[in-house]
Structure 1
């Protein structure tokens, strides 16, 4: 008997002067917008995964400040359920010329209004929801997450 498991992912919510760091990426559904996000690697803490994914997808170094929320979303096809940990983070450096992960077209900074105007380009509804929660001031201390091992 196999045990069903969700796909655990992390996302960085990075704001600078009213704009949010997003990635434009190739997906099976076409070019989409998403936060710098990705899967948790074996043995990695959630915070470390967030920092790694942001660097790999945007060439921006980030420092994680708080947990914005935990989100569960099942794709409309029903084949995959994601469990997303979204973190508020601050950009702390940029590696000009760094090669981005395969599938990433570019990093972009968009206002919430610019993002809201193009829902057909969101990777999932979590993209806008995470920003709305961040803008509403939703923050949880990192101490609510315990990493052992």
Structure 2
């Protein structure tokens, strides 16, 4: 019998303010990579709570997601796959903060053009896809996620 497919379940958050997006810069295997604040869901938390925690850890900001952009399935390699819940927060102004997670090198507020210029260094194609979907108006209510059984 073939091994059962078990993708990692992750969360991410598109954070926008004044037509800029908050991007985290990470050093992964010696290479700079750019991503939205993102990470894995822990066993004792809801999907939304995982987003709140990851945003706080990676940016130092205590933000409540305002909605869901989409749920994405991404195959990084033959043995590594993800199901990613991407949320969004729209702020009135750019906020200054500092990451709590030591694996985050820096936080950057970047325009869409600047993010596009870094595309070869994105953690995955979902970085740009999530922003594009957000800008295309893909905004779903948080109630679409039923976490009553956590």
Fold-level similarity (TM above 0.5):
yes
Does the CA-based 8 Å contact 2:14-2:130 persist in structure 1?
yes
* Cα gap change, 1:124 to 1:99, in 2 (>3 Å): closer
- Structure 1 portions without partners, runs of 5+: none
RMSD: 2.1
CA gap of 1:21–1:102, structure 2 versus 1, over 3 A, is: same
Question: Please, what TM-score do these two structures have when normalized by structure 2?
Answer: 0.89
TM-score where L is the length of structure 1: 0.90
Give the 5 Å matches for 1:48-127. 48-75=49-76, 77-90=77-90, 100-127=100-127
Is the CA contact 1:57–1:100 (under 8 Å) kept in the aligned structure 2?
Answer: yes
Equivalences, count: 147
What is the aligned partner in structure 2 of residue 138 from structure 1?
A: 138
Shift of residue 101, structure 1, vs aligned partner? 1.2
Aligned-partner SS, 2:107: strand
8 Å CA contact retained: 1:73, 1:83? yes
In the alignment, structure 1 residue 10 sits paired with structure 2 residue 11: yes
- Per-residue CA deviations over 1:15-63 (Å, capped at 9, x if unaligned) read 0000001100011261100000000000211111111101100111111
- Runs of 4 or more consecutive aligned structure 1 residues displaced over 6 Å after TM superposition: none
Shift in Å, 1:5: 1.1
Please list the CA deviations of residues 62-94 of structure 1 after superposition, one character each: whole Å capped at 9, or x if unmatched.
11111100011111x3221010000012459x7
Deviation at 1:99?
A: 5.4
What displacement does 1:3 show?
3.1
Task: Output the CA distance in 2 between the equivalents of 1:90 and 1:15.
Answer: 5
Pick the structure with more strand per residue.
1
Superposition deviation, residue 100 in structure 1: 2.4
Q: How far apart in 2 are the matches of 1:111 and 1:95?
A: 16
